[in-house]
Amino acid sequence: MKNIQKISAILFCFLITNVSAQTAYTKLVGGLDYIIIAKGKGELIKDSTFVKLHYIQTIGDSVFFNSYKQPTGPVLNFVQKGRGDINDYFPIFNKCRNGDSIVIRLNKDSLFRGNTPPFVKEKDEVLLKMKIVEVFSKKQRDSIFIDDAKKAAEQKAMADAKKMEEDKAMAAAIGNEDKVLQEYIAANKIKAIKTTSGMYYAITEKGTGELPKNGQQLTMNYTGMLLDGTKFDSNVDPAFNHVQPFTFTLGVGQVIRGWDEGIALLPVGTKGILLIPSPMAYGPSSPSPVIKPNSIMRFDVEVISAK
């Protein structure tokens, strides 16, 4: 489909760029000039119908708008009685059919109300170059919108169902790992608090600052390790070759979920421990050879600042 649209755009551009200055324009009642450079099929377009079209707007050699390059695609117009001024091009639709390509020459003086920009030269023409790609009634348009809304609702329902299944799987995995975490907490005599999501945190040295807020940029010290004590990253251990403080924005998904949730519970200046079940860490992924899939993680952290 994209290739077909691209070919259509190339053919359209070829046609409109080969309309010579000597080409005979037809003058519309009201004074607007237009020419149909490629004819489509079917009946003439009637008022109170909808027209989907691509268009390129140019002034001289400069392109000011090109719908072929817009992600939204063709532009939707409702054909109705126009404004009646000299640049009103809506009546031209009544002389066109589906598939027509049209060049419309606008009146510069009227368009710019006598204040023509300095970059517009006297010889420059202001052109609208249109390609009609679809014509349909209000009833057909409403049907299209209803179908689109139905598809969107179905997609949302599928996405919601998928998320529900993922949440159930995550809750089950966190529940399965809870016994391991409790045994680790007991063996290491950590005064930990369990959150509703299933992770644990402990404050080892409470700071005097406020709790961080989502959207703030936090500066941290940290050491990450597995429950067997194997370190996999740190910005305070020179062995990992990056001893500068770590910064991130809280609550926007820049870090693992366990960090976004756990760090928000630690006032600025606090040192603490985060014990994070694997679904709230990297899950089945393995970002490092040291980290096996579905690894529970411990982070010793310090919240230096929040701005």
pLDDT (tens digit per residue) in 246-270: 999 999 999 999 999 999 999 999 9
In this predicted structure, what is the pLDDT of residue 140?
65
127 close to 58: Cβ distance less than 8 angstroms: yes
Collapsing DSSP to helix, strand or coil, 174 comes out as helix
Question: Which residues of the chain form beta strands (DSSP E)?
Answer: 26-27, 33-38, 49-59, 62-66, 75-79, 101-106, 126-137, 193-194, 200-205, 217-226, 231-234, 246-249, 271-276, 297-306
Two tokens, residue 147: 């179908």
Q: Which of 59, 273, 282, 296 is catalytic?
A: 282
67 close to 54: Cβ distance less than 8 angstroms: yes
What residues are paired with 202 via a beta bridge?
273
What does DSSP assign to residue 135? E
- Residues in CB range of 13: below 8 A, 6 or more apart: 56
Q: Which of 16, 132, 222, 276 is catalytic?
A: 222
Residue with tokens 């719908």: 67
Question: Which residues of 82-186 form beta strands (DSSP E)?
Answer: 101-106, 126-137
Q: Which of 50, 55, 89, 299 is catalytic?
A: 299
Could you give the CA distance from residue 152 to residue 158 in angstroms, rounded to a whole number?
10
Two tokens, residue 165: 């299944």
In this predicted structure, what is the pLDDT of residue 19?
54
Query: Per residue in 113-128, is it b (16+ CB within 10 Å) or e — as a string?
Result: eeebeeebeeeeebbb
> What CATH number does domain 174-306 carry, 3.40.50.11540, 3.10.50.40, 3.30.200.20, 1.10.1270.20?
3.10.50.40
Could you give the CA distance from residue 150 to residue 127 in angstroms, rounded to a whole number?
39
Please report, in angstroms and rounded to a whole number, the separation of the first and last CA atoms in the chain: 48
Tell me if residue 222 is catalytic.
Answer: yes
Two tokens, residue 1: 């489909």
Two tokens, residue 265: 């519970």
What residues are paired with 212 via a beta bridge?
none
Q: Which of 104, 256, 276, 291 is catalytic?
A: 256
Per DSSP bridges, beta strands 26-27 and 33-38 are antiparallel
pLDDT tens, position by position, for the chain (307 residues)? Answer: 444 444 444 444 544 455 544 468 888 867 788 999 888 888 898 887 888 889 999 988 888 889 988 888 888 877 876 666 667 788 888 888 999 999 988 887 777 777 777 788 888 888 989 999 888 866 666 666 666 677 788 888 888 888 888 888 888 889 899 999 999 999 999 999 999 999 999 999 999 999 999 999 999 999 999 999 999 999 999 999 888 999 999 999 999 999 999 999 999 999 999 999 999 999 888 778 889 999 999 999 999 999 9
The residues of the chain that CATH labels 3.10.50.40 are 2-142, 174-306
Query: Is the CATH number 3.60.20.10 carried by domain 2-142?
Result: no
Q: What are φ and ψ of residue 243, in 5° steps?
A: -100, 10
What residues are paired with 52 via a beta bridge?
76, 134
Tell me if residue 232 is catalytic.
Answer: yes
Tell me if residue 109 is catalytic.
Answer: no
Q: Which of 90, 136, 233, 240 is catalytic?
A: 233
Q: Which of 184, 232, 246, 248 is catalytic?
A: 232
- Model's pTM, two decimal places? 0.52
Two tokens, residue 154: 């179905």
Tell me if residue 68 is catalytic.
Answer: no
